[in-house]
Every structure is written in structure tokens, then in C-alpha cells.
Amino acid sequence: MCGIVGYIGEKNSIPILIEGLKRLEYRGYDSAGIGVISNERKETRVIKSLGKVSLLEDKVEQTSIDASSLGIAHTRWATHGEPSVVNAHPHFNKEETLYLVHNGIIENHTEIKAKLSKDGYEFVSETDTEVLVHLFDSLMKKGNSLLKSVQIGLSEVRGTYGISVISKNEPDKIVVAKKGSPLVIGIGDGEHYVASDVNALIGHTSRCVYLDDGEIVEITKDKFVASTIDDKDIKKEVHEISVELDKISKGDYPHYMLKEIFEQVNSVRDSFRGRILMSEGTAKLGGIERIAERLANSKRLLLSACGTSWHAGLVGEYMLEQFTGIPVEVDYASEFRYRNPIVDRNDSMFFISQSGETADTLAAMKEAKRRDALILGLCNVVGSTIARESEAGVYVHAGPEIGVASTKAFTSQLVVFALISVLIGRKRHLSLIDGQEILRELEALPKKIEKILKLNDQIEAIAEKFVDAKNFLYLGRGYNFPVALEGALKMKEISYIHAEGYPAAEMKHGPIALIDENMPVVFIAPKDSVYDKVITNIEEVKARKGKIIAIASENDNEIDKLVDYSIKIPDTIRMLMPILSVIPLQLLAYHVAVKRGLNVDQPRNLAKSVTVE
Ligand code: AGP
């Protein structure tokens, strides 16, 4: 998953490209580069650097480049070939007349490379991408236009791509193409932008078109012509970009992750705003209204996702089964697609994805489509591929989430699952009173989240005690078991400390062997129907000298006698407790990582949107 930016118009492209890469840096940040064609002498220039975009920016500032109104740029998350300058994009042909940036994986790059090598092409990088630029170059040398060369070349390619290509021989256009990796075109007056997602377009234009798989577009400063790879003209719908610039800046926060944790007062409210029908005790979800009856009569509800979104699915499973009475199954998307899943048209399948671009989740969706299930998206990014390729769905409305570690998207996903549970439940056996209780508790969440965020200093002080921890164990029961998994994921992905989440009762079946005075154990232990059993687990850990942090109810004074640290949070109904109990765990992981001096927003080896399998 990399970030691609392109510009063609009247302005100098270089600052636009650099700013665009910074906006997309959460998609990949091990190396970056730009390739431009100067206005006067039509000179091509490429500058690449290892590391973050800011290092590329420094390099560009130290280089004198003529004004160039045509350029492409790329920030990389390495798949084939280690992070290095030579492997950074743009890649180019020997004569440096053709530049290309790519997001995705060319599966048959070895075959193509062998063929081109036989024709005398020399390869300088270890990447799969480089085969594309030489393939297109070989076709242009046979007299094909840039567009035709890309069309013919891509017909030989297997794999996924989002590409932008420019040529010194046709210095008035960019050719872009998409299959499996996102690309969006920003429409300006006398200028056009290309980007991997709309965050790079905000502030430049509010109009865009999203490319679909198998599409190729020739873009000049005044127009764009879209066609399929097999050369059929197509008409693209223009969309409005509704995100404002302030939504994607850090503001006064030191990190996007902290900003997004604190935004949860509003993002949770935005997720249910306008969707509560209190008098009927149900929810109004426009994106699934049309298929609501079919959904309510599903034989099974299947949920598929990766990472944090998979954890949201686990909470959704508890909610949906409790309130709709329909059997629910949750799958890792990456596993679902390799099983031979028994799925048919009586099943409804939700694909949960913050980015809406996760390759494994997209692939699972394609597999489910082949089996006629009702395909539903539960995404945060408007216009994302999963959202556009689903039959229906619900946007979670968390707002742009830039920090690689997902926080507000997770709590918004849970709000949406609660709304879906009420909507379907009220078409089945959920009473008006029970529906109204859930909705009232949803409306009460923002104030409770505000209270929890006031514990930030206390949580930071606790984090201080665990900066040198080597392991963490997270334990929870029922609705809070997925929260234990999510808390562990937050800790490991930003602090690089090994952490595991487990059902609290499972501890006796192995993990208890890990407990000693060096093992911090985090319990999610609100006063609910399984509280007494969790207290028993706490006592088992205490008896073995484990260091215990408990997320507990604010009116629970007993637990303090048993644990080393207690973080007291407001209560709510069981099904909504994960939305509250996860927030202290987000803050705990954040502060431990910051105190370890790590890059919280862009942790090593990770990227925000995993668009490769
Ligand atoms: C969560 O903090 C991680 N960044 C990661 O597990 C993420 O949830 C996963 O890659 C799925 O992403 P998606 O929701 O955009 O599909």
C-alpha cells in the first residue's frame, strides 16, 4: 500500500506533489520520490530518497529544478525489494523519457522481466514495478502512443495496480490505470490531480472521480478521457469531496493518533447522528434500507475483515446474535477466501473496513459475490472500493483517520453495529422498550467518553510504569473479549511490545504459565454479569504476582484491593461497553509508545491501508 500523487495544470507541480505525499504518508513511508517534466525545455527530472517525505522535500529544495507543471510522485511501503533509493518510485526507462509510479503487486513480473531482458532491457531495481516502465517503453518504441502502450502492456499484466505514467515524448498528459489499488482524479479548472485517496485532493478541489478496476484514463490539464483496458469509452460520475482541510491536520495534538482518540466524543456522535428513530425504537440507515427486509430474513449474518475491523466484527457478532436472533459467523478475510466457504443467497455478508481498500477484505468480498450472498460494506472512507463494490452498506462517519493505529474508526464501527442490531432486531423480536433503551444509551455515550478522556493524565502515569515491559496479557469476557484483543493489538503495533489478548477464562488453559512479577496483565472488568468470574481470574493472577491493570466501573471500590492500578470508567449496557472500555487501552498503548520514543502515527513495517495481499 503506497501513496501516489500526480498533477497536470498551470501551477508548479513540485510543491503540490510534496504536499500530496505528506497527506498520503500514512499509506507507506519507507522511501519517496518525484518525477517531473519541465515546462520550457521539457526536461525530465527525478529525485528520490530513503525514509520520510520530509527527507525528499529537503533533497528537492537543495536541487534546482525548472518550473514543471506536470509531475508524479510516490511514497512507498516495500513489497518487492528492500527500502532503498534505487527501489523507490518513480521508475524510469534507460533514456529517462518515461516515468511511472505504482501501488500494488505485479504477480507475473518475473515472466515479463525475462522477456524484456531477452530484448536487451536492463533492470536496476529489485522491484516488480520496474517491469511496467520497460514494458510500456518497448511498446512506445514500436510507435504506440503512451495511452495505447499502457493499454496493450496492461493486457499482459497479472496482479494489482494503481499507476500513473508520464512521458517526455507526450509532455501534455498523464495516463493512469487501476486494478485492485485505489486511484482518484481531482478535477480543477485547467488542472487535474491524481491521488491514491481524496486526502491528497482536499484544499485543491472538491470534485473527483473514482477509478474502477480495469479502467484507464488519459488526463490533460483541460480534460480526461476514461476507457476500459480493452479500449471501450466510459463515462465517469463526478463526486463531491465532503472532507474539509482541518479534518486532516493534527491541530494542536502531537500525533494524529491522540487527536483521533480525543475526537471520539464527536465521531461516536457523528456515527449515530440522524440515524436514531426514538419513537419507534429503531434506527434509520439509508444505505441498507432498500435491502433491510432481505437482511432481516437472512439465514446467517457473516462478517469478514482484518485487524481492528475484525475485532469490531467480533463485538458485532455478540450484538447481532443477542438482538436479532440470527446466527452470526466472523472470519478473518484472509482466511475466508482460502477456505471453501459454504455461503449462498440466503446469507448476508458484511465487509468491515476503515479504508475500504484492504486487499484481503476485497478478495473475500469477490469470493462471497461468486456465491450470491447479499454483499454489504461497513466502511469509513466514502467512495472507497469496498463501499462502491458492495450492493449496500453503511458508512461509519468517523471522519478521516490518519494514524496507522485505528481508534475512532473502531468505536464508530461498534456504534454502527449497534444501530444495525436495533434495526434488524426491531423487524424481528426486539421490543420497542428494549430498542429505545439501546438508543438512549447510544445517545449518552459522548458525555461518558468525555469523562474517560479526563483520565488521560492518570493513564499516562500508569504507562510510565510499563515503558520497559517485554510482554502484556489482555483479558476480558463476553463483549469485552474482543476489546482484550484490540487493546493488545494497539500495544504491539505502536510500542513494539509483544502483547496477547485472551478470553479471561482461557487463561487457566495455558497462558497462566506466563504469569509472574514481570507480566503486566490488563483486565477489562466492568461490573456486569460476568464480573464475579473476572474477579476470580484477577485473584488467580494476583496469587502468581502478576502486575494487574484493571479497566473497572467507576462505582467499584472493591477491585482496588485486588489490583495494582485501576482505571474507573462510567457504565453502560453490556453491548455498548466495548465502546467505552477500549478508550483507556488506546491511551495506554499511545503513552507507552510515546515514552519509548517511537513513531506513533507511522509505526515501523506498517501502513494505514494494506492494499497488498
Ligand atoms: C489497526 O490498528 C491496524 N492498523 C490494522 O489492523 C487495520 O485495522 C487492518 O489493516 C484493517 O484495515 P481496514 O479497516 O482499513 O480494512
- Which of 260, 308, 355, 485 has most ligand 1 atoms within 8 Å of CB, for mutation? 308
- Which of 353, 495, 602, 610 has most ligand 1 atoms within 8 Å of CB, for mutation? 610
The mean-pLDDT minimum among 25-29, 53-57, 136-140, 473-477 falls in: 25-29
Q: Is 609 in the pocket of ligand 1 (CB under 6 A)?
A: yes
Whether residues 443 and 540 share a domain: the answer is no
Whether residues 109 and 211 share a domain: the answer is yes
Whether residues 320 and 426 share a domain: the answer is yes
Whether residues 431 and 465 share a domain: the answer is no
Spacing, Cα 606 to ligand 1 middle (Å): 10
- Separation between Cα atoms, residue 591 and residue 574, nearest integer Å: 27
Q: Is 361 in the pocket of ligand 1 (CB under 6 A)?
A: yes
Among residues 291, 284, 329, the alpha carbon closest in space to that of 420 is found at: 284
Whether residues 406 and 432 share a domain: the answer is yes
What lies within 8 Å, CB to CB, of 560 at 6+ separation is 566
Among residues 193, 202, 189, the alpha carbon closest in space to that of 71 is found at: 193
Q: Is pLDDT above 90 for 226?
A: yes
Spacing, Cα 494 to ligand 1 middle (Å): 13
Whether residues 173 and 230 share a domain: the answer is yes
- pLDDT 10s digits, 494-512: 999 999 999 999 988 999 9
Burial zone of 586 (CB within 10 Å; 0-12 exposed, 13-18 middle, 19+ buried): buried
- Separation between Cα atoms, residue 435 and residue 279, nearest integer Å: 10
- pLDDT 10s digits, 450-484: 999 999 999 999 999 999 999 999 999 999 999 99
Residue length of the chain: 613
* CB 474 within 8 Å of CB 503: no
* CB 241 within 8 Å of CB 208: yes
Spacing, Cα 356 to ligand 1 middle (Å): 10
* CB 153 within 8 Å of CB 167: no
- Separation between Cα atoms, residue 296 and residue 302, nearest integer Å: 13
State the sign of the Cα–Cα–Cα–Cα dihedral 553, 554, 559, 563.
positive
Spacing, Cα 262 to ligand 1 middle (Å): 19
- pLDDT 10s digits, 174-224: 999 999 889 999 999 999 999 999 989 998 999 999 999 999 999 999 999
Q: Count CB atoms within 10 A of the CB of residue 51.
A: 14
In-domain check, residue 611:
no
From 247, 279, 300, give the residue that closes a domain: 247
Whether residues 221 and 118 share a domain: the answer is yes
Cis peptide before 83 (omega within 30 of 0): no
Q: Is 553 in the pocket of ligand 1 (CB under 6 A)?
A: no
Q: Count CB atoms within 10 A of the CB of residue 123.
A: 13
State residue 610's pLDDT score: 78
Q: In what order do the strands lie in the sheet with 498-503?
A: 498-503, 471-476, 520-525, 547-553, 565-569
In-domain check, residue 612:
no
- pLDDT 10s digits, 112-127: 999 999 999 999 999 9
Spacing, Cα 608 to ligand 1 middle (Å): 7
Among residues 72, 71, 33, the alpha carbon closest in space to that of 51 is found at: 33
What cell does 230 get?
480493452
Split at pLDDT 50, 70, 90, the class of 97 is: very high
State residue 83's pLDDT score: 81
What is the arithmetic mean of pLDDT over 532-541?
95
From 227, 247, 267, give the residue that closes a domain: 247
Q: Which residues are catalytic?
A: 2, 608
What lies within 8 Å, CB to CB, of 20 at 6+ separation is 3, 5, 7, 73, 193, 195, 200
Split at pLDDT 50, 70, 90, the class of 424 is: very high
Whether residues 223 and 198 share a domain: the answer is yes
From 199, 231, 247, give the residue that closes a domain: 247
CATH number of the domain bearing residue 575: 3.40.50.10490
State the sign of the Cα–Cα–Cα–Cα dihedral 118, 119, 124, 130.
negative
Residue 79, amino acid: T
Spacing, Cα 474 to ligand 1 middle (Å): 19
Q: At what angle do helices 432-453 and 577-595 cross, to 10 degrees?
A: 20
Please identify, by atom number, the ligand 1 atom nearest to the C-alpha of residue 493.
2
Partners of residue 36 on adjacent β-strands: 45, 71
- Separation between Cα atoms, residue 533 and residue 544, nearest integer Å: 17
Q: Is 355 in the pocket of ligand 1 (CB under 6 A)?
A: yes
Q: Is 308 in the pocket of ligand 1 (CB under 6 A)?
A: yes
Whether residues 243 and 256 share a domain: the answer is no
In-domain check, residue 608:
no
Please identify, by atom number, the ligand 1 atom nearest to the C-alpha of residue 309.
14
Q: How many helices (H) and strands (E) does the chain have?
A: 19, 27
CATH number of the domain bearing residue 20: 3.60.20.10
Please identify, by atom number, the ligand 1 atom nearest to the C-alpha of residue 358.
16
Cα 459-587-539 angle, rounded to 5 deg = 60
Q: Is 601 in the pocket of ligand 1 (CB under 6 A)?
A: no
The total of structural domains in the chain comes to 3
State residue 473's pLDDT score: 97
What is the arithmetic mean of pLDDT over 438-459?
98
Helix (H) or strand (E) holding 151: helix 146-155
Q: Is 385 in the pocket of ligand 1 (CB under 6 A)?
A: no
Split at pLDDT 50, 70, 90, the class of 429 is: very high
- Separation between Cα atoms, residue 600 and residue 61, nearest integer Å: 27
Spacing, Cα 503 to ligand 1 middle (Å): 21
Q: In what order do the strands lie in the sheet with 233-234?
A: 91-92, 98-103, 161-167, 170-179, 215-219, 224-228, 233-234
Which residues span the domain enclosing 203?
3-247
Nearest residue (by CA) to ligand 1, atom 5, is: 307
- Which of 406, 485, 491, 590 has most ligand 1 atoms within 8 Å of CB, for mutation? 406
Share above pLDDT 90 across residues of the chain, in percent, rounded to a whole number: 86
Whether residues 192 and 298 share a domain: the answer is no
Q: Is 494 in the pocket of ligand 1 (CB under 6 A)?
A: no
**468 — phi, psi (to 5°)?**
-100, 15
Residue 44 region, left (φ>0) first, then alpha (ψ -120 to 50), else beta? beta
Please identify, by atom number, the ligand 1 atom nearest to the C-alpha of residue 405.
2
Q: Global pTM?
A: 0.83
Nearest residue (by CA) to ligand 1, atom 6, is: 307
Nearest residue (by CA) to ligand 1, atom 4, is: 405
Q: Is 380 in the pocket of ligand 1 (CB under 6 A)?
A: no
In-domain check, residue 613:
no
- Separation between Cα atoms, residue 439 and residue 290, nearest integer Å: 22
Spacing, Cα 541 to ligand 1 middle (Å): 31
Whether residues 435 and 490 share a domain: the answer is no
Mean pLDDT of the chain: 94
